[in-house]
Amino acid sequence: MRVVMIHTSPVSLNELKALCKEIIPDVEVYNIIDDSLLDQVKKVGHITPDIIGRMCAYVQTAKTLNPDLIFNQCSSVGEAFDIARKQANCKTLKIDEAMAEKAVSLGSRIGVVATVASTVAPSANLVRTKAREAGKDVTVTEYLVDGAMDILMQGNVEKHNELVIGEIRKAEAENDVVVLAQGSMTAILPLLTETTKPVLTSPRLAIERVKQELGL
């Protein structure tokens, strides 16, 4: 079987490769990376017709590889992928769908923590969508650690972690469950000791869902 992943950054590439090797070792995984997509959506704060058009083009490219599933890695362009996935002739999955569903199942007050402004609304909206699909009323509160992603990309992991953990603690105190909007935030999980609420990240949940979708 074969999966094609569409990325807007190499940040989560190695982690996703490792998870695929662990969870779906017999599946062929190919990657399409265009980091200009994330730069563009960060500059304007939302998806644009150009971003949607390129995402549609990447889905078309992915289709030429005859995949069993096309996977979107980036929450910031998730709504563009929602449009592009309608053209797919196979299963599709966004990296944060399984996480959003689990969050809805765990509580009615859900905190969404993000380090990129353009990720906040799509991630929170996805949680609300999954809640509607489940017939559940939820309150979603957004927490932006502004600038943390830029700090991480500059190599200052310690400062990034400090800022993100501070916001997670705030969200934890105010909600039933905390969602970390970007896959890159999984690096701080070992540093989160003595958490009193579930703190969810997307990569492992997503690859486990890929396995499920492929019937493995």
Structural domains of the chain sorted by starting position, each given as residue range(s) with its CATH number in brackets: 2-95+204-213 (3.40.50.1860), 97-202 (3.40.50.1860)
pLDDT tens digit sequence for 133-167: 999 999 999 999 988 878 877 888 888 889 999 99
Burial class, 135, CB count within 10 angstroms (exposed 0-12 / middle 13-18 / buried 19+): exposed
What mean pLDDT is reported for the chain?
Answer: 94
pLDDT tens digit sequence for 65-113: 999 999 999 999 999 999 999 999 999 999 999 999 999 999 999 999 9
Confidence at residue 146, expressed as pLDDT on a 0 to 100 scale:
84
Tokens describing residue 20: 């695929």
User: How much is the pTM?
Assistant: 0.92
Confidence at residue 42, expressed as pLDDT on a 0 to 100 scale:
85
Cα–Cα distance between 176 and 196 in angstroms, integer? 9
Cα–Cα distance between 125 and 85 in angstroms, integer? 18
Cα-based distances in Å from 178 to 62, 99, 104, 109 = 33, 10, 11, 9
pLDDT tens digit sequence for 3-28: 999 999 888 899 999 999 999 999 99
Cα-based distances in Å from 177 to 70, 109, 129, 172, 197 = 28, 7, 17, 7, 6
- Edge-first strand order for the sheet with 139-144 is 139-144, 109-114, 177-180, 199-200
